[in-house]
Amino acid sequence: MKIIFKYTKLGKLKYISHLDTLRLLQRALRRTGLPAKYSEGFNPHPKLSIAFPLSLGIESIGEMAEVELAIRVERDVFVNKMNDSLPEGLQIISASEFKGNKPLPAQIVSQEYRLNVCFKSNQDLEQALKIADAILACDYNIIRVKEKKNKVTKKEINIVEYLTLMQIEAQSDLTFSIDFKVAITETGSLKIEEIRDFVSTYFQNIDHLTAIRTNLNFVDKSV
Amino acid sequence: MNNIKLDELLKKVEKPARYIGGELNSVMKDKTQVHVRFAFAFPDVYEVGMSHLGMHIIYYLLNQDKDIWCERVFAPWTDMEDELKYHDVDLFTLESNDSLKEFDFIGFTLQYEMSYTNILNMMSLAGIPVESKHRDDSFPLIVAGGPCAFNPEPLHEFVDIFFIGESEDLLPEVMEIYKQHKNSGEGKYSFFKKISHIEGIYIPSFYDVVYKDDNTIKERVKLYDKAPDIIKKRIVKNLDQAYFPEKIIVPFIETVHDRVVLELFRGCTRGCRFCQAGMIYRPIRERSVETLLKQADLLIDSTGHEEISLSSLSTGDYSKLIELAQALLDKYEERRIGLSLPSLRLDSITFELIKRVQKVRKSGLTFAPEAGTQRMRDVINKNISEEEIIDSVKTAFALGWSNIKLYFMVGLPGETIEDIYGIKDIAYKVKDEFFKRDKNSIKGNLNVSVSVACFVPKPFTPFQWEKQNTVAEFSNKTSILKKELKDKKISYSYHDPKLSVIEGAFALGDRRMSKVLKKAWQMGCTFDGWGDKFKYDVWMKAFEAADVSLGYYTERNKAFTEVLPWDFINCGVNKEFLIKEKELSLSRITTEDCRISCTGCGVNVELVGGPCFENHI
């Protein structure tokens, strides 16, 4: 059976890379004793995949992964056994059986981030909303530079094309939270660093800024 | 250090997960509730240190005592070193994140001479004076053990206490005495006196060394009259009952060896004349199949690892290898847990075994002929013939392997140019075997990888009196091979001769090498084992600044009568045996495996107190 589950990546676990997180999940599964289905080939691996990579150093309360088990198991049994086996910062929040065939990464259409912006002095929420609306109304092009094996490729992208503002809230006199939805298209998505730079350019007076991924959204909203 | 500060540092470095701790099976304790704090220090990066079985053993051995908290610290990579300095933060352990300064003990493991600069650097990064004499009682005690401790003298200025041999019994004994001592309020020298008589303990500050005009050692002088003249290595008498952890830490990030390791036995009976491990780990002691299966079970369940590897010197010599491997496969095959086997003599039984292993996971095959000609192999007592190598390779190809690794050494005693060309010949013969077969049965893409190391004479081997090749001699040989091994199917790699001669100077060095070490570290040498970080020119300047000659240690044949810097250590193998072996090597006479008949190395008399194999195999 295929299970899609949602999990957290909090605290120091934010420093575990994508591939290491994958191995961590595989080993946790192995320790539960629940038999996984395995890939074919030279080095068989349990069929477990992560929906969408998360940048190193960023926390999340909305990661997704998919696993294929060789047996049927109650959802709660799976979640409890896995959570006993997983470290504190990485815990499964919800899970459900998936009967379709489409691989999980192909089902994800957008990601959501919350930026917590801490200002040096008091900020007006109304003013911040105005700024946010204004900046999302105009194009904001950046050049993304990729370096691979001494080959440098440059690509121009328009940040605002990907971004939808969901909400701005005052968390305290000095701190606002800004929730963004970021589209994942065939041409890719935005990196959290790019969003941070974008926000930092328009808001003056920022003391520091932290980001956390809050969700990954499906085509099919069943999970 | 608090979490916010740590976060600031971690955000700046390339692989932050090296420093976060919190892995599965790591041990957290309340520091106010423990009596002794011990920092196990590995003088290399996390990925290397975490692959070392000894660290896991000692970590759990100490932590099973509720009064002791053993934590871990690794050499911070240069990016983290810069951050520590910039933020003025002391080097810290992964568990409590406390500065190394706050510990009772910092225990360094000495696996490789070229990690020595990192030892000084780690102390210094925590604000601890590197020299023992500059550390008052407010600083931690610096202790060290591991294979390189068999010649401890190059580190004598920096380390307070050396542990010679195996620590499973020794370390808890010393900790018990320390617990008493800590309440007494007496200074560190009083503690040294309380432990200096224990078998396996060496306190370098209790001795002085007097040299002759020709720089060789005249004598050792005791500065504390009750200090022992000879330091005898400590062993675990019964390995089957020795301490072994039920859990090992599961790293978050990929390490060099990321799997369950079963230690089948200690010691080796082959008697290769270049091999230090083969001498200093004697006598041979095996674990029973029953014990090993139990250990495998506990470790697999507590880690979730996907591979078990069997580790020992010459693992293929384990007396019940087939029985063990079959039992492990029976148990784990279905759970897709792979088994990595040592090189085996291939026959019908091992053939079936290997076929089963291959079903789970395929791996490369390694052979270590060590030398290119039969003559040279006879000199070094590597008892494997070319026919045996080729036969094994043939069988391996028939079984579907196409990846073969071959290990050799250059610069061996009495080597000639034919021996160098012999390496080339073996590589091409292996290649020819692959294509000699029926075209239809050739599958896969052949890769013969030839790896060449520069020979370093080591203490307690029959070659301890030998001079080493110079950089120029080594380079000549490695470049001949580079020219000769130009082939699409053969890849060739070799050790840096410059690194090997520095390694030689530390392996064969005396107390004066500690000056060179300190200079080199002060001039910026760290991570010398990491190719691009190694600065040969700086090392040469360090020798000059310390007024010590590299050639004195590495370019001089020594007489049997010369007092060697490590002569005061008794590793069980006696000098008469080493001399006899050295003389046999000159006449190309091999010595057979001592399982067949005792070769009289002395370990039975010195350490076992009876025949070596009774109850141990």
| DSSP class of B605 | I
DSSP annotation of B444: S
Of B21, B252, B336, the CB nearest to A44: B336
Specify if B49 maps to a domain: yes
pLDDT in tens, B243-298: 999 999 999 999 988 899 999 999 999 999 999 999 999 999 999 999 999 999 99
What rounded mean pLDDT belongs to chain A?
A: 89
A-B Cβ pairs (cutoff 8 Å, strict):
56
Please name the residue that has the structure tokens 């995949």.
A49
* Residue B50 with chain A: CB contacts under 8 Å: none
Tell me if B17 and A16 make a contact (CB, 8 A cut-off). Answer: yes
Asked if residues B323 and B317 have their Cβ atoms less than 8 Å apart, the reply is no
Q: Residue A134 burial (CB < 10 Å; 0-12/13-18/19+)? A: exposed
Cα(B182)–Cα(B208) distance, integer angstroms: 27
- Give domain status of residue B254, yes or no: no
Do B110 and B147 contact (CB within 8 A), yes or no? yes
Cβ atoms of B26 and B94 closer than 8 Å: yes
User: Contact at 8 Å (CB) between B457 and B466?
Assistant: yes
Q: Tokens 């036995």 correspond to what residue?
A: B265
Query: How far off is chain A from B339, nearest CA to CA, in Å?
Result: 13
Domain range list for chain A: 2-101, 109-218
Partner B contacted by A24 (CB < 8 A): yes
Burial per residue of B380-409, b for 16 or more beta-carbon CB atoms within 10 angstroms, e otherwise:
bbbebebeebeebbbbbbeeebbbbbbebb
Neighbouring C-alpha atoms within 13 Å toward the C-beta of B270: 23
Average of per-residue pLDDT values in chain B? 93
CA B305 to chain A, closest CA, distance in angstroms equals 6
Asked which of A76-80, A171-175, B23-27 is least confident by mean pLDDT, the reply is A171-175
Q: What is the mean pLDDT of residues B139-160?
A: 98
CA A8 – CA A141 distance, rounded (Å):
32
Residues of A in contact with B10 (CB under 8 A): 15, 57
The confidence score (pLDDT) of residue B345 equals 62
What's the DSSP call for residue A176? E
In the predicted structure, residue A68 carries a pLDDT above the cut 70: yes
Q: Is the pLDDT of residue A221 over 70?
A: no
**Could you tell me which chain A residue has the CA closest to the CA of B335?**
A35
Is residue B397 located within the same domain as residue B438? yes
Q: What distance in Å separates the CA atoms of residue B470 and residue B555, rounded to the nearest whole number?
A: 7
* Contact state of A29 with B304 under an 8 Å Cβ cutoff: yes
Tell me the mean pLDDT in the region A89-112: 92
List pLDDT tens digits, range B320-371: 998 999 999 999 988 888 888 766 666 666 777 777 777 666 667 788 899 9
Given CB atoms, is B253 within the 8 Å cutoff of chain A? yes
Query: Which residue among B10, B335, B362 sits closest to A15, beta carbon to beta carbon?
Result: B10
Q: Can you read off the two tokens belonging to residue B308?
A: 């078990």
Q: Hey, is B343 helix, strand or coil?
A: coil
Residue A15 touches partner B, C-beta closer than 8 Å: yes
Mean pLDDT of A142-163: 85
Q: What are the pLDDT digits (tens) for A117-143?
A: 998 888 788 888 888 888 888 888 888
B552-610 pLDDT per residue, tens? 999 999 999 999 999 999 999 999 999 999 999 999 999 999 998 899 999 998 888 88
- Residue B314 pLDDT more than 90? no
Chain A interface, best mutation among B336, B358, B361, by max A CB count within 10 A: B336
Nearest-5° angle of CA B458, CA B464, CA B467?
Answer: 95
Q: Say if the Cβ atoms of A20 and B16 lie within 8 Å.
A: no
CATH of domain A2-101: 3.30.70.580
Cβ distance of B306 and A12 shorter than 8 Å: no
The string of pLDDT tens digits covering residues B379-394 is 999 988 889 889 888 8
- Based on the number of CB atoms within 10 Å of its own CB, is B493 exposed (0-12), middle (13-18) or buried (19 or more)? exposed
Between chains, do B252 and A16 touch, taking CB under 8 Å as contact?
Answer: yes
Window 66-105 of A, Cβ < 8 Å to B: 85, 87-88
pLDDT of residue B613: 83
- What is the tally of structural domains in chain B? 2
Decide if A30 touches B, using CB distance below 8 A. yes
Q: Does domain A109-218 have CATH number 3.30.420?
A: no
Residues B214, B272: one domain? Answer: no
Q: How confident is the model at residue B533 (pLDDT cuts 50, 70, 90)?
A: very high
CA-based nearest distance A160→chain B, Å: 27
Kindly determine whether residue A30 and residue B10, on different chains, have CB atoms separated by under 8 Å. Answer: no
Q: How far is the first Cα of chain B from the last one, in angstroms, to the nearest whole number?
A: 50
Structural domain span for residue B499: 259-512+548-608
Using a CB-CB distance cutoff of 8 angstroms, which residues of chain B are in contact with residue A19? Answer: 254
The distance between the two most distant Cα atoms of chain B, rounded to a whole number of Å, is 79
Instruction: Extract the tokens encoding A99.
Output: 């009967």
**pLDDT-derived band of residue B224, with 50, 70 and 90 as boundaries?**
very high
| Interface touch B336/A38, C-beta < 8 Å | yes
Q: In 3D, which of B566, B186, B383 has the Cα closest to residue B195?
A: B186
Same domain, B217 and B313: no
> Which DSSP state fits B445?
-
- Interchain proximity B10–A57, CB inside 8 Å: yes
Q: What is the pLDDT of residue A142?
A: 86
Range in A44-48, A88-92, B364-368 the model is least confident about = B364-368
Mean pLDDT of the A58-79 span: 95
> Which of B232, B251, B282 is the C-terminal boundary of a domain?
B232
Check if the beta carbon of residue B198 is closer than 8 Å to that of residue B174: yes
Residue of A nearest to B16 (CA): A15
What do you get for the CA distance between the two ends of chain A, in Å?
16
Contact criterion met (CB < 8 Å) for A15 and B22: no
Residue A223 pLDDT class (50, 70, 90 cuts)? very low
Amino acid at B81: E
Q: What is the mean pLDDT of residues B57-84?
A: 97
Residue B10, both tokens: 């971690």
Is residue A64 within 8 Å of A220, Cβ to Cβ? no
* pLDDT reported for residue B360: 63
- Please give the full DSSP string across B26-54, using - where no structure is assigned: -----GGG-SEEEEEEESS-HHHHTT-HH
Q: What is the pLDDT of residue B176?
A: 97
All residues of chain B having their beta carbon less than 8 Å from the beta carbon of residue A16 are 17, 252-253
Which of B481, B383, B473 is closest to B426 using CA atoms? B481
**Cα B521 to Cα B483: distance, rounded to the nearest angstrom:** 36
* ipTM here: 0.85
Task: For residue B265, give the 3-state DSSP assignment.
Answer: strand
Residue B362 pLDDT: 62
Q: What's residue B242's pLDDT?
A: 93
- Higher local confidence (pLDDT), B522 or B304: B522
Nearest CB partner across the interface for B254, out of A20, A42, A85: A20
Residue B65 lies in a domain: yes
Cβ–Cβ contact B24 with A under 8 A: yes
Q: Do A16 and B253 count as a contact with CB atoms less than 8 A apart?
A: yes
Q: What is the DSSP string of A189-205?
A: ---HHHHHHHHHHHS-S
The beta strand positions in B75-211, using DSSP E, are 105-109, 141-145, 161-163, 201-202, 207-211
Question: Using CA atoms, how far apart are residues B96 and A10, in angstroms rounded to an integer?
Answer: 19
Higher pLDDT, A49 or B360: A49
| pLDDT at res. A146 | 83
The answer on B265 and B228 residing in a single domain is no
Least Cα distance to B36 among B169, B143, B152 occurs for B143
CATH number, domain with residue B476: 3.80.30.20
Q: Is B187 within 8 Å of chain A by CB?
A: no
Query: Coil, helix or strand for B128?
Result: coil
Q: Which of B194, B215, B232 is the last residue of a domain?
A: B232
* Inter-chain CB proximity B16 and A56 less than 8 Å: yes
Based on the fold, state whether residues B87 and B175 are members of the same structural domain.
yes
Do B22 and A87 make contact, defined as CB atoms within 8 angstroms? yes
Q: CB-based burial of residue A75 (10 Å sphere; 0-12 exposed, 13-18 middle, 19+ buried)?
A: middle
Task: Closest CB to A87: pick one of B24, B304, B361.
Answer: B24
Distance (Å, whole) CA A215 – CA B288:
52
Higher confidence at residue B346 or residue B499?
B499
Note whether A2-101 and A109-218 share their fold: yes
Same domain, yes or no, for B393 and B461?
yes
Per-residue pLDDT tens over the stretch A182-220: 999 888 899 898 998 888 888 878 888 899 999 999 875
Q: Where residue B187 sits, what CATH number does that domain have?
A: 3.40.50.2300
Q: Which of residues 156-215 of A touch B (CB under 8 A)?
A: none
Cα B344 to chain centroid distance, Å, stands at 23
Interface touch B252/A42, C-beta < 8 Å: no
Residues B350 and B490 in one domain: yes
Contact B133, B201 (CB under 8 A): no
Chain A interface includes B17 (CB < 8 A): yes
Crossing angle of helices B513-522/B116-125, nearest 10°?
60
Q: Which residues of B touch A13 (CB under 8 A)?
A: 22, 252
Chain B: residue whose CA lies nearest to A16: B17
A-chain residues near B402 (CB < 8 A): none
**Cα-based distances in Å from B426 to B471, B489, B490:** 25, 13, 11
Cis bond upstream, residue B154 (ω within 30): no
The helix or strand, by DSSP H or E, that contains position A95, with its residue range, turns out to be strand A92-98
Q: How far is A214 from chain B (nearest CA, A)?
A: 21
Nearest chain A alpha carbon to B299: A31
Of B17, B254, B305, the CB nearest to A15: B17
Identify whether residues B121 and B216 lie together within a single domain: yes
